[in-house]
Amino acid sequence: MTTTQLEAPVMAVRPFARLGADTRYVLTGFPVALAALTLCVTGFSLGLGLAVVWAGVPILAATLMWARGFAAVERARLGLANPVYRTGTGVRRMIAPLADPRAWRDLAHAILRFIPSTVAFSFVVSWYAGILGGLTWGLWGWALPGGNGDDDLPELLGLGDSYGTAVGFYLVAAVILALTLPAVTRGAARLEAGFARALLGRA
């Protein structure tokens, strides 16, 4: 399911399907963002540094082509059509990306997408981890330093220091996280998709 389907009316998509699609979009976007950042920053820096001796020009052109590939992947995830890029023949074909504004927007997205992707990924993973940890805390919380309830968060909040209180507290926290999980994953997916649409969805 693409994020185009994520934008469908609430009644058109089952809640669990929407949650799964949002989660998948965010979790798969982070490694792609990491790869795009690494390759494109490296290529752009190297090409820019060597541009004064012209050796960097083909490197810059190749970097823009890499960015185009990452942009194509993201457009596919969003359900967007790929634009028509500038082309040429011979040497002009190699340097055509350097004169194409779309190519530079692709590069900007490849380098900067790591920011919204990291934010979105962090929230979604934290919520899932909090739910899993809260639901199972009673099975392993005793093994933590102070896991018998002493100096634990419930005690610091004035709820008592018994182990049972701690188990109940984290169960309630897990339920709250589970209830807010759809909204959090939805917001995270919208953040990442909105950034991509702003740069890649323009003609």
pLDDT higher than threshold 70 for residue 4: no
Kindly state the tokens that stand for 111: 């380098």
Please report the pLDDT score of residue 109 as a whole number.
96
Helix residue ranges, H only, the chain: 3-6, 15-50, 56-78, 91-95, 101-112, 114-140, 153-156, 163-200
Inter-CA distances, 53 with 42, 58, 65, 91, Å: 18, 11, 21, 17
Dist. CA 13–CA 113, nearest whole Å? 27
| pLDDT grade for 201, boundaries at 50, 70 and 90 | confident
Question: What average pLDDT is seen over the chain?
Answer: 84
Question: What is the token pair recorded at 76?
Answer: 């596919």
Return the structure tokens found at 121: 């990924």
pLDDT at position 89? 59
How much is the average pLDDT of 80-97?
73
Under the banding of pLDDT at 50, 70 and 90, the label for residue 170 is: confident
* Model pLDDT, residue 58: 86
Asked if residue 120 lies in contact with residue 191, where contact means CB atoms within 8 angstroms, the answer is yes
Average pLDDT score over residue span 184-191: 97
d(CA 100, CA 116): 25
> How many whole angstroms separate alpha carbon 180 and alpha carbon 134?
14
Q: Is the pLDDT of residue 195 over 80?
A: yes
Length of the chain: 203
